[in-house]
């Protein structure tokens, strides 16, 4: 399998992980993608093109992750605020050092 094929396959899996909001998996795939890029030889004839594609891919992945975070923030903001008190009303307030009995 060529480097470009490996990058494409890893990139596809990375985008799927981001779309599914599986960020730990996406982080691992991002490291794998970076390691693939590090194997690119400095004298490779298509080096500039591969790096341009990688830059476009990174920007696309970044935007997907930001959109996912924004969607999650909107979902959290839409949740109703809890009306239940923090303490149960029947329980008297006690200090943690207070002994009873």
List per-residue pLDDT tens for the chain, 101 residues long.
Answer: 888 899 999 999 999 999 998 989 999 999 999 999 999 999 999 999 999 999 999 999 999 999 988 988 888 888 887 666 665 566 666 666 666 65
Q: Give me the pLDDT at residue 6, please.
A: 92
State how far the Cα of 72 lies from the Cα of 55, in Å rounded to an integer. Answer: 26
Q: How far is CA 41 from CA 37, 38, 48, 77, in A?
A: 9, 8, 11, 48
Q: Give me the pLDDT at residue 86, please.
A: 60
DSSP state of 93: P
User: pTM for the whole thing?
Assistant: 0.68
């Amino acid at each position: 399998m060529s480097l470009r094929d490996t990058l494409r396959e890893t990139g596809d899996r990375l985008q799927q992980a981001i779309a599914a909001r599986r960020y730990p998996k996406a982080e691992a795939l991002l490291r794998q993608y970076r390691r693939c890029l590090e194997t690119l030889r400095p004298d490779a004839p298509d080096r500039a093109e591969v790096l341009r594609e990688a830059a476009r891919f990174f920007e696309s992945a970044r935007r997907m992750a930001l959109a996912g975070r924004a969607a999650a923030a909107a979902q959290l903001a839409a949740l109703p605020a809890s009306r239940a008190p923090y303490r149960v009303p029947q329980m008297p307030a006690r200090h943690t050092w207070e002994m009873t009995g």
